[in-house]
Amino acid sequence: MDRNQQLFERAQACIPGGVNSPVRAFRAVGGTPRFVQRAQGAYFWDANGTRYIDYIGSWGPMILGHGHPAVVEAVQKALVDGFSFGAPTEREVELAEAVMAHLPSVEQIRLVSSGTEAGMSCIRLARGFTGRSLFIKFEGHYHGHADALLVKAGSGLATFGHPTSAGVPAEVAQHTLVLPFNDIEALELAFQKHGAELAAVMIEPIAGNMNFVRTTVPFMKRLRELCTQHGALLILDEVMTGFRVALGGAQSVYAKAIPGFAPDLTVMGKVIGGGMPLAAFGGRRDIMGKLAPLGGVYQAGTLSGNPVATACGLATLREIEKPGFFDALAARTRSLVDGLKAVAQDKGIAFSGDSEGGMFGFFLMPTLPQNYSTVMTTDGPAFNRFFHGMLDRGVYFAPALYEAGFVSAAHTQADIDTTLAAAREAF
């Protein structure tokens, strides 16, 4: 008896689509979602007791793997003191200081509970600071499900083929200007036409919701120049990449290639909460000073800075700060991607892949795409067959070809070897 199927049938009776976040439904790949019973290290076990090597890691936060002893201990101690207070704690100050120590562009920070909340708050703050309404996002970039941001987004929306979401009023979406990704000419034209009206540009430095697609260095450099020239704020969405691709986030990677590079605001999530519901946004002090209670831009949250979540996040940051952590993680991730490339090549299958730190992506096409329209030409049915071939062999990749993957410190070389052996058979 398939317990996953039983649970999915029960779930569909009481939860829309049987899931609480769309991509979990397996609609893109077909079949029955795996209902997770427990997880440890690099693995999780489904309702049937089947073990899988986990390459989504709760979509990024589990950089240490599941159930890391130091994190579990920190959470247990925090629980004893109380679940939630609705009042300030020393621990939220410690977490803010820890984040700021590694992100020089963040001079002040506000903790919230989700990436969506952080993203929409950044847009409101940018508008309040500049006194302008218009902002730019890029095709295939996903910044949460706030109304103004659900315009040509990636992730679940790409999976279901919708360029936007029902329920988003046209008068809200009209303030969102969507540009093709990595297209400098289109970027320059947009600033030429709308520069005086632009409050901000929001971008994923490495897009993770149309799989793994980097912002090119020339594009990022020109974007920074244009924002500065026209008085628009540059917002980096590092919900996925923050503390995942490097200790200083993706912005530290681009700062090595672009002297003096820094965003005005940064959106953070996932790793900074260690798997608990926690996110943040931060940036220049003069901008953050516009937030209530200091300024007129209102933002609040009962569970913001939750004491259990901040304990989890702090313990996670303390572990990834250790010398050599990211070198080892990056090497392990590269070994997976390089191994998949080699196996695919051996089997005569078009394949390209890329990684940074503990984040990776692959495409069943000969070269890496640089924009959303190219990503959308990926062979979906072939990916679905590969996904199920790997799932049948105990390897869990993201159940949609538009999602990036994640390696944790708990993944061993044996796990990588097992994955590559499974891929050889699946290919």
From the list 46, 54, 237, 415, the catalytic residue is 237
Q: Could you tell me whether strands 233-238 and 198-203 are parallel, antiparallel, or unpaired per DSSP bridges? A: parallel
Check if 396 is active-site. Answer: no
From the list 142, 254, 372, 402, the catalytic residue is 142
From the list 46, 54, 270, 415, the catalytic residue is 270
Check if 270 is active-site. Answer: yes
Q: Kindly compute the dihedral angle of the four CA atoms of residues 401, 405, 411, 416, in this order, to the nearest 10 degrees.
A: 40
Known catalytic residues are 142, 237, 270
